[in-house]
Amino acid sequence: MPELPEVETTIKGLNLIKRQKINKLKIHTRQLRFKIPNNINKILVNSKISNIRRIAKYIIIDLNNYHSLIIHLGMSGRLKLSINKIIKVKHDHLVIFFTNKKIITYNDPRKFGFIDIVETAKLEKKRYIMNLGVDALSNYLNSKYLYRIISKSEVPIKQILLNQKIIAGIGNIYASEILFDAKISPLTLGKDLKILYLKKLITSIRKILRKAIKYGGSSIRDYTSIDGTLGNFQSNFKVYGKEGEKIGNDKVVKIVQYGRSTFYSPKKPKTKIIF
């Protein structure tokens, strides 16, 4: 579930370990979505954190030895911060100990996330990074870019928003909220969205994601920030998870698209195709 706002919130919490030295590493589970690299201990121990950043839904921790630790939270992963000591709980897979007594634990019940280590200079050559589209909050995401990519697409716009090769960072929760805010039906095909609606869509992408970051992300299943704090953007949902609830003279409808739940208000969208 963690999407761009949850990853951004996690990175803010990780600023506590910036410039700190890694003292020890403990691996409880090597086989996540991908196997944790065998050389991770050698590269991490005695290195210092030089920078912490985000690429799409990936947490990038740059080290002073010209390597980067990549953490993907998958559907249920989270990072936990402790001080001095920890009590191992179920689904704790990797623990990083710092010389200042802080401890970061990677926990992932479903093991759909992964942990990787790579030379920083070669980071963007990793397939899962190289194939990403424009970041959802990047200035490079504009109406001309989207029109060029989707102007002939027979795919519904909801699915386009979830395509990380086109726009990186948006997941299922925020896609419904973004389309509702932009007054665009999730059933509208990419080819039917003219420049005017693409501009509205991009405005709503930035508005919803930035607001979600401000509220610390959304906690509807597994997600909490690294100190255990729940996100609060779910209290601002307009349509997601609100099937049957009234919006003016309309009700929120739930449909399934490509195996994923979509929530929207049929009378609200102003685009050509309305359910």
Q: Which residues are catalytic?
A: 2-3, 57, 260
d(CA 208, CA 46): 40
d(CA 116, CA 134): 22
Residue 260: strand, helix, or coil:
strand
d(CA 226, CA 232): 15
In sequence order, the 6+-apart residues with CB closer than 8 A to the CB of 143 are: 195, 198, 199, 202
d(CA 5, CA 233): 10
d(CA 116, CA 252): 41
DSSP state of 257: E
Of 101, 58, 110, 59, give the one whose Cα is nearest residue 83. 101
